């Protein structure tokens, strides 16, 4: 290394806020110094109460969420749903084997038959809704 060479390392944590501030400043300047307007819009967007669909309802009681909370909640729900789907796909063979094993027992087959019949009978009672519930307990099998 030459005596005139200097090596300097600056962490990302130091550089990132500076770059972001410069970009924000350049955008604000390009907009003609409309910082206050943009800040008001962002503040309004963050604090506006919306309904479960992200719309401002004419009924105040429907507007339970802030826009940002609803957006984050939906993103988290989607991430959880995707992860659950991956987990189910990864465990599908184990789930299938457990289900088949349970159905091969008299008790398991009876439980499935009962659930199906109860659900079918329930369809006639309430035309708007059909529910089926399967409850299996994994553990030692007898017989």
Which whole-number Å values give the CA distances from 18 to 29, 38, 44, 51, in the listed order? 16, 20, 26, 37
User: Is 131 inside any structural domain?
Assistant: yes
User: Is 38 inside any structural domain?
Assistant: no
Of 59, 39, 37, 41, which Cα lies nearest the Cα of 49?
59
User: Is 126 inside any structural domain?
Assistant: yes
Rounded to whole angstroms, the Cα distance separating 113 from 89 reads 26
User: Is 59 inside any structural domain?
Assistant: no
Domains contained in the chain, number: 1
Tokens, residue 56 = 């401002």
Domain that holds residue 100: 91-143
User: Is 30 inside any structural domain?
Assistant: no
User: Is 10 inside any structural domain?
Assistant: no
Burial of 127 (0-12, 13-18, 19+ CB in 10 A): exposed
Q: Which residues pair with 49 in a beta bridge?
A: 66
What does the pLDDT look like over 25-66, one tens digit per residue? 777 777 666 667 777 777 677 778 888 888 888 888 888 888
What does the pLDDT look like over 74-129, one tens digit per residue? 888 889 889 988 888 888 888 888 888 888 888 888 888 888 888 777 766 666 66
Burial of 88 (0-12, 13-18, 19+ CB in 10 A): exposed
């Amino acid at each position: 290394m030459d005596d005139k060479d200097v090596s300097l390392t600056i962490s990302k944590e130091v550089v990132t806020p500076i770059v972001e501030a410069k970009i924000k400043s350049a955008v604000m300047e390009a907009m003609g110094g409309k910082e206050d307007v943009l800040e008001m819009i962002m503040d309004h967007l963050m604090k506006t109460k919306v309904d479960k669909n992200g719309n401002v309802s004419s009924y105040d009681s429907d507007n339970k969420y802030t826009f940002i909370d609803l957006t984050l909640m939906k993103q988290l729900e989607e991430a959880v749903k995707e992860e659950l789907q991956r987990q189910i796909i990864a465990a599908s063979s184990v789930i299938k084997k457990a289900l088949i094993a349970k159905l091969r027992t008299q008790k398991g087959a009876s439980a499935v038959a009962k659930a199906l019949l109860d659900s079918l009978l329930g369809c006639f009672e309430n035309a708007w809704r059909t529910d089926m519930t399967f409850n299996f307990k994994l553990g030692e099998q007898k017989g």
